[in-house]
Amino acid sequence: MGKGIHPSGYSNILVSSIIIILLSTGIVLIPIYLFIKIIAILSAIILILWVVLFFRKPKKIVESPIDDIIYSPAFGEVVVIEKIFEDKYFNEERIQLSIFMSMSSIHLNFMPCNGKLLKKEHQRGHNYHARKAKASMLNEMSTLIIQSNTGKQLLMRQIAGAMARRVITFINENEYAKAGDTIGVIRFGSRVDLLLPIDTELYVKLGDKVKGGWTQLGKLKY
């Protein structure tokens, strides 16, 4: 487990715990078999711990990030690496690298490089499963345009999934952050996309497990 709980999770943990405790208490008060009551209590404890785990802080974050290195913005699995044509912000070919966060992953999001946030846009949308390609276009998401200290720009998307219902971004436009800084959270979900310059040298492959704010995904050329 990480070093404590991130403040963004306090209200979620409190509300979820109250609901779970009330439901389990209601079951316990019903005149039913004792083993069912025991199962209800144990289930409540497991569910509360599960909610807490979503918002745990990671054990380690890079302390001295290198300007031309791209670090993982999330904990999870690399599920997409492909070349696409991005026609809204860059109007050029880019490398898309997508990280899927499982139900057991830390769901905080991290700055992928040293740099400044140039633009932030939030889009309401659907809640398709995050592994599906259409999630990158149709789901609720926040899109961030980041300029690294190298001068290169990249796009980061926080994408809600089937279980997620809210994407939160802490960083504001024109703010500077270093790689590994916590810049957002996807509550109970689910995927982060990076659109990198086409000449980025990648260090990871499909199926690799990555750690937010720690794993080096690749190197920018400049």
Active site residues: 190
Q: Which two tokens stand for residue 129?
A: 């499963």
Amino acid at 139: N
Give CA torsion, residues 172, 104, 99, 107, to 10 deg. 0
Residue pair 91/57 in contact (Cβ under 8 Å)? The answer is no
Cα separation, 94 vs 20, in Å, equals 44
Q: Mention every residue, 6+ apart, whose C-beta is less than 8 A from residue 196.
A: 70, 94, 95, 96, 97, 154, 218, 220
Element (H, E) at 210: strand 209-210
Chain CA centroid to CA 181, Å: 13
Q: Tell which residue, 190, 218, 220, has the closest CA to residue 81.
A: 218
DSSP E strands, 39-187? 69-71, 76-86, 92-100, 108-110, 115-123, 141-148, 153-159, 166-169, 176-177, 182-187
